[in-house]
A and B are shown apart, each in its own frame.
Chain A
Amino acid sequence: MTQKIWDIPGGVHPPQRKKLSDHQAIRKAPLPKRLILPLQQHIGAPAMPLVNPGDKVLKGQKIADADGFVSLPLHAPSSGTVVEITAHAIPHPSGMAEPCIVIETDGDDRWCALDAVENFRSIESEDLVNRIRDAGIAGLGGAGFPSAVKLRARPEQEINTLIINGTECEPYITADDLLMQEHSEKIITGIEILCKIVTPSEVLIGVEDNKPQAIQQLQQAIKSRSLNFDVVPLPTKYPSGGEKQLIQILTGKEVPSGELPADLGIVCQNVGTVKAIHDAIITGKPLISRITTLTGEALAEPGNVDVLIGTPIDDLLTFAGAEPNKIQRLIIGGPMMGYTLHDIASPIVKTVNCVIASTAEELPSPAPAQACIRCGACSEVCPVNLLPQQLYWHSRAKDYSQLKHHNLFDCIECGACFYSCPSHIPLVQYYRASKADIRAHEAMQQKAEYSKIRFEAREARLQQIEDEKAAKRKANAERAAKLKASKESAALKNDSEAPPNDAKTEIDAAVARSRKIKDVSEDQALSTEEKALKIQRSMVNAQLKKLQRQCANCPADEQEKLERDIERLNQQLLKLSPDNSPSAATPITPATLKIDKENNIKHAMAKAAVKKTRRALAKIDSESNEAVSLRSELESQETKLKQLEITLAVGHAPPTTKQGTAADEDKTLITKLGGEEKKLKIAAAIANAALRKAERAYADAAENQTAETDLRAAEVEKCKQIVTEANKNLANISAPADAPTAPSSNASNKVEQEPEQGKFQEKNSSDELKKLKILHAMANAAVKKAQRAAEPTTQGDPGQQRSIVEARKKLDAATKALNDFTADKPVEG
């Protein structure tokens, strides 16, 4: 019986050129020295590496696992050592590098244990699908869709037709042809396995009639097993091998736009994939090699090779006798849909069915595009009945809605339109770019929509908080009087009526207590245990508050129970409060560090406040009286800042001395130096701030073009002097900053002798480092911000610019000194 076939619209007949590579048997490619295995060789999520550099792997061993449903594992194609996991050029039209596992082969080609199946008929189909997935099988025809995903049972749709794609309609490629000729038995077994999984009522094997030998081999294999598979010879026409086109040819049905063949009850698999499935089930071998056509006129020995996945393409080209100076372009895949390779060090991946090394005469460079003459040659050959010329015009106009209206997304990018376009317009490139543009545009719109929702949600939240605050303020005011009267008694009474303020006072008390403790034992910091307790405390607190809230609006009978809970929690809270904390028993770090940090942060915040005032000032500097008031505010802010900085500085001094008496001498030295450095640092920062202020004022004046200018200039001059002085001090430190090297090396000796103390010190200095880093970052920020502030005003004012440059230089010197200091620390600690 001959199977009825349908025709597809359009199509072209490019020169076949299959003769180049179809006359010799499949050869085995030599084992390469290095195998490069991209983590993503399939459609879906990239695999997750399971190995680390240095690991020994065996042939067939899983080296990366699937990450998600649409993903595939990866296996070592040969035994050897994993040398690195790194970005490496991969075959991709972009020519970009992607993460790859690189294996150095050991030449033994030792297999790991394989899990072969004696009789696949006795295995559950679910298990078979899992084995196919575990073998890492992706569609070998070119797209690389994970086969298991296609095969996984879909309860809502029964599969009644299994189509095996052996068309290979692209010119040049002969890999499937040779595969069908040499491995027809395995292919037929593979199809039987597929039948076990999807239980179709008919099996159609589509092969173009330019492969008579392959058709004959398959028919023979089928006959010898008396199966009812149909080998259907198709007229040779490009692109009959496209999945949708093949379905149309063999069944007359069209896959509805936006749906999958499975929705029609059809599953389509490539012959290469079917053979890989056979290998995976019958021999247990995962997908580690494939048949690839090496062809093109720049090769002395074109032909088909059985090549390990990951083999670098330049190795293969050498194997096929490539003449490098004859190669003009290297194409992965066929000449109609393939892409050009950027880097010949790229490896063969699962989807590479052909490598064409073409000469300039063979596939000449594209002719310059002329205008579209709307001849319609393109729409004549379009296999999906589009109007390519209209798509072209709309692509150029970036008219996305028209493009979608003209079904751009149904274009299969087969290239038939370009092939026949007399004006040599790179139509497919237009479509690809437009598709990507539309997708990006839609993604952006989606993101905008999402951002809008988030923005509005935030606005609503802020509004709500604002409202709540207002309501609370009102309520608090009402309650204040009552509270004051009954404060003493209410403090300990856990009445259900008790306002949250009660808990708050308690917490406040607790905090105060903890402060006191800290003050008393300054050299005792929060231990990890203490921290945990603190967290616990806050959690209990939160729970308590929640309960109280609940209690306030629940029926009376439940109140009692809740009250009991509250009581219990309160006790817990009491227990957890720092009085009882067993901090003394645990290792200690200097508490001062913490205070320092707090001060630092306060400092940063104060700075920000200054900056903001300044910004406000800049805005309204023309309105003078307001400016004056603001400026005074700025000044007060700055004094605050200075004060803070001084506390910061002072805060360092006492610990230094205290520690000096408490701990050993080395420690003292380090801390002292750190403190000194910091002090000077701060001095520099203050000076810097003053300078900035002056500059700011100067700029103001300059802007206002007032007579004050001179006055201000003088002020700036004065400030500059201060800065210079401060910087001189700062510069001095760079000398002492070198000093710690010697004593510290002493310290390191000591540390070795006293491991206990060494650890202690390590901690100490790393904290110190952190502190310094923060300071450093702040200094950095200060310079940057000063620059930014200065930028708009300094144009055309070289004097001022110079002063800023000077200040910056000096600050740079200081930071460098700081760097030296901090850089030394880790080495010694």
Chain B
Amino acid sequence: MSLLNVSSPHSHGPGSTARLMKLVILATVPGAITLCLFFGWGTLINLIWAGLVAITCEALVLKLRNRPVAFYLGDYSALLSAVLLALAIPPLAPWWITLIGVSFAIIIGKQLYGGMGYNPFNPAMLGYVLLLISFPAQMTAWAAPTGIDGVSGVQGFAQAFNSIFPIFGNVLEIDAYTLATPLDVMRENKGLTIDELWASNPIFWGVGGRGWIWVNLAFLAGGLFLLYRRVFTWHTPVAMLGSLTLMSIIFYGGDGSTGNGSTAFHLLSGATMLGAFFIATDPVTSAVSNRGRLIYGAGIGMIIYIIRCWGGYPDGVAFAVLLMNMAAPTIDYYTQPRTYGHKKPKKGLAKQD
């Protein structure tokens, strides 16, 4: 008999990277469905298109690098990046927006750094920021949610498909179907009180804006499912939502025109929940220790609020995540846990001798 000789342990738990990625993809389903319900089929088309682009890019690069393609594709990480980016892109964004964003995310944001596990920045968010900076018009043109009088919204699948892939010549007049998002309106608001704002614009509904509340709640549900399955720890999302809440309470300007919106508005509008549970929790680019993740999450929440209220963009999840990605290594060095048998945790870098 030939005996296998390997280092211990010989037993391994059931977890695997592919399983984790699949769970995360699964957890986006409620959010994706809600998006489709409110903003039409565009999201679904984007998801499929982005997925195809991601897998092709990944396979291509792996081939170029002489890596076993099937083995690395099997970790589903490319697909996950594509899904997250597709969920963040406006539902009616033309096909080349997705193509550019996803291929940039996969090729430059991930593979050029060495592939999964080596990228310092969240690839999906890198792609998103690239698009946001390069194509602001397309990236801010969100489809109007259904259920608003006067604005038809995107009706059928064909229409959505046509607006993304205008193969049949007749490019849709996109303005007819799009509307500024609540965060946009809020930022642009100069003279109206909050109540007036709510009354004046049909996009406002409830506390977060028509459609947006449900989308955020759906992502929250997905996130809770992941927490329950222990895909990640509670530290990052809780810290992020906590700091966002805290900021919005501190800087709550009342109902006046300079008020920055209520806590509930910030929590349930824009990409808050998607960011908290699906983007900030990306393990590769976040801090590693639990204390570190608290700091990391809190930083993201704070920066989101700052960008939303005082920055040049309506939503700041992508920028906040990228900025904190940069800070993650430093956070790691200063948040080592206290090891058994040591009085104090160690801090900083090792002393150079």
Interface residues of A (CB under 8 A from B): 12, 14-15, 93, 95, 171, 244, 248, 254-259, 324-325, 327-331, 333, 335-342, 344, 356, 358, 363-368, 370-377, 379-380, 383-387, 389-390, 399, 401-402, 404-407, 410, 413, 415, 418-424, 426, 428-429, 432
Contact = CB atoms under 8 A, between A and B. Distances in A.
Contact of A383 (B9, B10, B13, B340): B340
Contact of B288 (A363, A374, A399): A374
A368 to B, nearest CB: 7
Given A410-B340, A419-B13, A380 B5 contact: no
Contacts of B290: 376, 379
Given A327-B3, A358-B10, A418-B9, A374 B283 contact: yes
B211 to A, nearest CB: 33
A375 B13 contact: no
Contacts of B343: 256
Nearest to B286: A374
Contacts of A389: 288
Nearest to A317: B1
Interface string B117-144: 1100000000000000000000000000
A379 B340 contact: no
Given A12-B13, A93-B7, A335-B11, 16 more contacts: A325-B1, A358-B10, A365-B6, A370-B17, A370-B75, A373-B17, A373-B20, A374-B283, A376-B232, A376-B288, A390-B332, A390-B336, A405-B349, A415-B8, A428-B9, A429-B7
B337 A379 contact: yes
B190 to A, nearest CB: 44
A516 B297 CA distance: 99
B11 A14 contact: yes
A422 B332 contact: no
30 contacts: A93-B7, A256-B341, A256-B343, A257-B339, A257-B342, A324-B1, A329-B5, A331-B10, A335-B9, A337-B8, A338-B8, A338-B10, A340-B5, A340-B10, A363-B11, A368-B71, A370-B75, A370-B116, A373-B284, A374-B286, A375-B283, A379-B290, A379-B337, A384-B340, A385-B337, A387-B288, A389-B288, A401-B350, A405-B350, A423-B117
A387 B71 CA distance: 27
Nearest to A370: B17
B30 interface: no
A664 B71 CA distance: 88
A385 B338 contact: yes
B353 interface: yes
Contacts of B118: 371
A423 B13 CA distance: 11
A401 B352 contact: yes
Nearest to B231: A375
A365 B12 CA distance: 10
Contact of A422 (B3, B8, B20): B20
A329 B7 CA distance: 12
Interface string B2-43: 011111111111011101100000000000000000000000
A366 B8 contact: no
Contacts of B19: 422
A422 B1 contact: no
Given A340-B6, A371-B118, A372-B117, A386 B339 contact: yes
Nearest to A364: B12
Contacts of A340: 3-6, 10
A419 B8 CA distance: 10
B340 A342 contact: no
Contacts of A363: 10-11
A115 to B, nearest CB: 40
Given A335-B9, A338-B10, A375 B341 contact: no
B233 interface: yes
A698 to B, nearest CB: 53
A363 B337 CA distance: 33
Contacts of B332: 387, 390
Interface residues of chain B: helix, strand, loop or mixed (majority): loop
B12 A419 contact: yes
Interface residues of B, number: 49
Interface string B149-185: 0000000000000000000000000000000000000
Q: Which of B13, B116, B353 has the most CB of A within 10 A?
A: B13
* Closest A-B pairs by Cβ, 4 of them: A371-B117, A415-B9, A405-B350, A384-B340
Nearest to A14: B11
A581 to B, nearest CB: 64
Contacts of B283: 373-376
A395 to B, nearest CB: 13
B338 A432 contact: no
B5 A421 contact: no
Given A336-B8, A422-B17, A341 B3 contact: yes
B63 to A, nearest CB: 18
A401 B288 contact: no
B289 A387 contact: yes
Interface in B300-353: 332, 336-343, 346, 349-353
B15 A422 contact: yes
A337 B11 CA distance: 10
B115 interface: yes
A606 B142 CA distance: 98
A43 B6 CA distance: 23
Contacts of B3: 327-330, 340-342, 344
A380 B349 CA distance: 22
A420 B13 CA distance: 5
Contacts of B15: 377, 420-422
Contacts of B16: 367, 422-424
Contacts of B75: 370
Nearest to A404: B350
Contact of A375 (B7, B10, B12, B20): B20
Contacts of B338: 385
Contacts of A358: 10
Nearest to B353: A401
Contacts of A415: 8-9
